[in-house]
Structure 1
Amino acid sequence: MKKQYIAMAVLVVSIIILSACGNTTDESKADANKQVDLNNTGQQIDTKTDENTTEDHDDASTVGNDEVVNERTKDDYLKKLNEMEEADRYGPAQSTTVELVEQETERYEKWDRELNEIYGLLKEQLSQEKMDSLREEQREWIVHRDETAKESSLNYKGGSMESLEYVATQAELTRERCYLLVAKYMN
């Protein structure tokens, strides 16, 4: 109960601070556009989309989920990615290593699902030539992501933090890749 009270207090203070800062959507978009320049390699990914993650839009409320996804713009996706990032940032903090690994695994899976959705949409938007190039870039990115996660986790080799560092690095690189794909390729 005490942990929930503390977490709620931290959340309220964070919201107040964000409100006081006047963080606008335009500033968030600018931050997102800065973040996408962090990585310039690629990944081949499964193009299945999760219909449950599709948000409804006021102008497309009568069409099916697939059509809503196809009508999303770069700004829509940047807004969604920013909201996902805020949820990560202000979500409840876990205290044990096992809980932290589970939390980071969920975070990685969430960002990976989003990356798959973005990639699937790009398959419909891009020309065959650009898609072929992106597919190769994505394959290289998978290798880069996994090698970077492994290298990072070796800092904790044999320790309880090794698996946490591996999945946390995968989650962070996947989050960055979502921003990059939207900024670089989406209309």
Structure 2
Amino acid sequence: MGNNRKLLVGMLTVLFIILAACGNSSKESSATLDNQSKNNNSAQNTNDEPAKTNSKENSSYTSNHDKGENDTDAQTSTSKNKAEKEDDSRTNNTQASLKEEYLNKLNDTKKKIEEERSNLKDDSTYALKNVEGDRFDALDGLLNEVYEVLNKQLPSEEMTKLRREERGWINYRDKAAKKASLKYKGGTMEQLEYTAVENDLTEKRCYELVGNYMK
């Protein structure tokens, strides 16, 4: 009976020790799991921070990149507008200089003919015909040059209208010269008068075209 009691006490003692050990093991396991969970959460938060940082950096880069493109577009637009204004200015200056150039040519031609008339060796019809012949060549050449310039400057519709007007003017000039020469019909002055009137009207027409149409 005493032996049985000792055996029972021993078994209870072993069982108690086993239960105590199991309880400690369970607590340790729970603590380990808690620590692992905390470590994982900490690592996840750490990984999220660079992602957020990268997101901000990317956002900043995109914003700066767009800003840079907008600045470039603005600079390109400004440069383009500036270039267009400079081109328009050069065009206007060229046109103004052409108008001035042809007015000077007409004035020089007129002055040259007047000097030639003043320095005639004689006042014969032959000498006067030579002067008017030189005048015709100079004025006819200038008239053609003026038309070439206007053909480049004027819109096609306006130039077409001017050509029709010019054909009417040529008809008027020839008739006016013929009518003026008839008072010397059959005489040596008939051809001279015809050329002189023709030249007068051509000179006047050149000034009109340069002054009214050339830009």
TM range (shorter): 0.5 to 0.7
Number of residue pairs matched? 119
CA distance in 1, matches of 2:161, 2:212: 13
Given that residues 70 and 121 in structure 1 are in contact (C-alpha distance below 8 angstroms), is that contact kept between their aligned partners in structure 2? no
2:129 is matched with 101
* Deviation of 1:182 (Å): 0.1
* Deviation of 1:106 (Å): 1.6
* Structure with more contact order per residue of length (Cα contacts < 8 Å, sep ≥ 6): 1
Q: What letter corresponds to residue 177 of structure 1 in structure 2?
A: R
Q: Identity of paired residues, percent?
A: 43
CA distance in 2, matches of 1:120, 1:183: 15
2:38 is matched with none
Alignment of 1:1-187 (within 5 A): 72-91=97-116, 92-93=119-120, 94-187=122-215
1:73 is paired with a residue of what secondary structure? helix
Given that residues 111 and 174 in structure 1 are in contact (C-alpha distance below 8 angstroms), is that contact kept between their aligned partners in structure 2? yes
* More displaced stretch, 170-179 vs 85-94: 85-94
CA distance in 2, matches of 1:78, 1:186: 10
CA distance in 2, matches of 1:128, 1:118: 16
TM-score (norm 2): 0.52
Structure 2 residue ranges without an equivalent (≥5): 1-93
Given that residues 156 and 162 in structure 1 are in contact (C-alpha distance below 8 angstroms), is that contact kept between their aligned partners in structure 2? yes
Structure 1 residue ranges without an equivalent (≥5): 1-68
Given that residues 105 and 171 in structure 1 are in contact (C-alpha distance below 8 angstroms), is that contact kept between their aligned partners in structure 2? no
CA distance in 2, matches of 1:155, 1:72: 43
TM-score (norm 1): 0.60
User: Which of the two has higher C-alpha Rg?
Assistant: 2
Q: What letter corresponds to residue 151 of structure 2 in structure 1?
A: K
| CA displacement 1:147-171 (0-9 Å, x = unmatched) | 0000000011111110100001111
